[in-house]
Amino acid sequence: MAQNADTTELDERWRDGAELRWLYLDMNSYFASCAQQDEPAIRGKPVIVVPVMSDYTCAIAASYQAKALGVKTGTQVKEAREKIPGLIVREARPDRYVELHNKILEQIDHVIPVEKVCSIDEVVCRLMGPQCLEAPARALGHRIQRRILENVGECLTSSIGIAPSRLLAKTAADMKKPLGLTVLRQDQLPGALLDLDIDEFAGIGRSMKMRLNKVGVETVRELWDMSPSRMRQVWRGIMGENFWYALHGTDPPEIETHRASITHGHVLAQELRPVEHARGVARRLTAKCGSRLRRMGYKCGGLHIYLRGADGEKLEAATRFAVTSDSFRMLQACDELWAQCARKLKGPRVKQIVVTCLHLLEAGMKPDLFGWTPEGEEDGRHMNLLSALDGINQRFGKDKVTIGPPTKMHGFVGAKIAFNRIPEQPEFWE
Ligand SMILES: [Mg+2]
């Protein structure tokens, strides 16, 4: 009991109405800044970084000087050159970015432990004790920015957001660039948020924005005034309610920070073992992974298939693609992997199939170097169709609507009670 009293007292001492719990750091134009750091001659000039040297690829980073002239991440090189005569183009150097990334982490660690690395140029740290007050939190942020500039590189500027929830801290980090430091206090919400567009929040992409617009939500004021249950309805799942809490300054109850993969597997009944039927099962498992990804607010950047033949042979294949939660794209990958494995089967029958989504990324997070490709945009029509299918299946039971012919699988697919994972309730209707 005495300990409880102490904790309460401690909490009260660090309460000034700001309720700051997270510090989010986002490196500014990271790849372009690295290029300028390594090559003093191109500092202060318009620079873009490209994955390969071609006029038909897109910039994966643009320096602030290039941004000022209308070229940004995603601009095609050809178009960028037309806009900026004399534009400097540099090929990406992934190993160098990782090296500098590690040096940056080291510097942050001197000031405050890193809670999670969100991408190659973004990290989030948890504030504790007196750090939850505005003045010490600001001082901490400035100290981190200074340490990186002094000890890693003078071109490596960063923007920091400090706020009560992780979502708001990330949003705050985006509000002032370069070298910004933005604090969003609980007692001033929604305050500064009202000047943003609704799609400036992580978790509101193009298709979610369209869904919100459709129900009459266009401004942050209108978004702020929605109820948790309304958001749940519009998001078609718990992610909506989680978004409400995060927007209002409270982290949703369970942020799954280290989910590495999503897997669905099935041991096939005798009648499904012939290869032509088994392929249908693999597709069904893949579609199921897709709807689970969307429900959990994730995307994946690869797929892995494992097959066990009826003769006991084990086959596997994996592939990478631009991060997506588009089941159609995932099915295409499944078909390719299936063809690779089926060729090596000794007999005509398959006993077990396991499908795994690889390289998971929270849907709101920007794909980075590790998952990034220029054609990473999702097909809006696919995504609208899929969210309609998810909605129908959630309402009327699983498999009411499937992509392609339904496979004759008995009972549920995959949502087994395992010792290491308790299935989430919605899995039973996916
Ligand atoms: Mg960045």
Report, in this order, helix, strand and coil percent for the chain, each rounded to 5. Answer: 45, 20, 35
Taking only the tens place, the pLDDT of each residue in 30-72 is 999 999 999 999 999 999 999 889 999 999 999 999 999 999 9
Q: How far is the CA of 284 from the centre of ligand 1 (A)?
A: 37
Q: Is residue 118 part of a domain?
A: yes
Q: How far is the CA of 131 from the centre of ligand 1 (A)?
A: 24
Are 279 and 396 in the same domain?
yes
Q: In the prediction, which pLDDT does 2 show?
A: 37
Q: Residue 397 — pLDDT band, cuts 50, 70, 90? A: low
Percentage of the chain exceeding pLDDT 90: 54
Are 74 and 115 in the same domain?
no
Secondary structure (H, E, C), 148-202: HHHHCCCCCCEEEEEECCHHHHHHHHHHCCCCCEEECCHHHCCHHHHHCEHHHCC
CB–CB of 305/338 below 8 Å? yes
Tell me the C-alpha to C-alpha distance, in Å, between residue 353 and each of 148, 350, 407, 417.
48, 8, 14, 17
Q: Is residue 77 part of a domain?
A: yes
Q: Is residue 354 part of a domain?
A: yes
Q: Is residue 204 part of a domain?
A: yes
Can you say whether the dihedral through the CA atoms of 95, 98, 104, 105 is positive or negative? negative
Distance CA 394, CA 235 (A): 13
Q: How far is the CA of 176 from the centre of ligand 1 (A)?
A: 12
Dig out the tokens for 20 from the structure: 């700051």
- The SS3 of residue 239 is helix
Q: How far is the CA of 25 from the centre of ligand 1 (A)?
A: 9
In the predicted model, what is the mean pLDDT of residues 366-385?
55
List, as one string, the DSSP characters of 343-403: HH-SSSBEEEEEEEEES-EETTSPP-TTT--TT----HHHHHHHHHHHHHHHHH-TTSS-S
Are 164 and 280 in the same domain?
no
Q: How far is the CA of 122 from the centre of ligand 1 (A)?
A: 6
Q: Is residue 133 part of a domain?
A: yes
Dig out the tokens for 54 from the structure: 């071609």
Are 105 and 50 in the same domain?
no
Output the pTM of the full model: 0.61
Q: In the prediction, which pLDDT does 365 show?
A: 56
Instruction: Enumerate residues 6+ apart whose C-beta is below 8 A from 174.
Output: 26, 159, 161, 200
Cα 199 to chain centroid distance, Å, stands at 15
What does residue 56 show for φ and ψ, rounded to 5 degrees?
A: -105, 10
Distance CA 368, CA 300 (A): 13
Q: How far is the CA of 7 from the centre of ligand 1 (A)?
A: 37
Q: How far is the CA of 101 from the centre of ligand 1 (A)?
A: 12
Cα 251 to chain centroid distance, Å, stands at 17
Q: How far is the CA of 105 from the centre of ligand 1 (A)?
A: 15
Catalytic residues: 122
Q: How far is the CA of 278 from the centre of ligand 1 (A)?
A: 44
Q: What residue numbers bound the domain in which 103 lies?
A: 11-28+96-192
Tell me the C-alpha to C-alpha distance, in Å, between residue 213 and each of 205, 302, 316.
12, 32, 44
Cα 72 to chain centroid distance, Å, stands at 20
Q: Is residue 255 part of a domain?
A: no
Q: Residue 358 — pLDDT band, cuts 50, 70, 90? A: confident
Dig out the tokens for 390 from the structure: 């998810």
DSSP H/E element including 318: strand 314-324
What does residue 90 show for φ and ψ, rounded to 5 degrees?
A: -125, 140
Q: Residue 117 — pLDDT band, cuts 50, 70, 90? A: confident
Taking only the tens place, the pLDDT of each residue in 313-332 is 888 888 888 888 888 999 99
What amino acid occupies position 214? K
Are 77 and 120 in the same domain?
no
CB–CB of 282/340 below 8 Å? no
Are 182 and 208 in the same domain?
no
Q: Residue 430 — pLDDT band, cuts 50, 70, 90? A: very low
Q: Is residue 393 part of a domain?
A: yes
Higher pLDDT, 231 or 395: 231
Structural domains of the chain, count: 4
Distance CA 277, CA 36 (A): 56
Taking only the tens place, the pLDDT of each residue in 334-344 is 999 999 998 88
Are 267 and 395 in the same domain?
yes
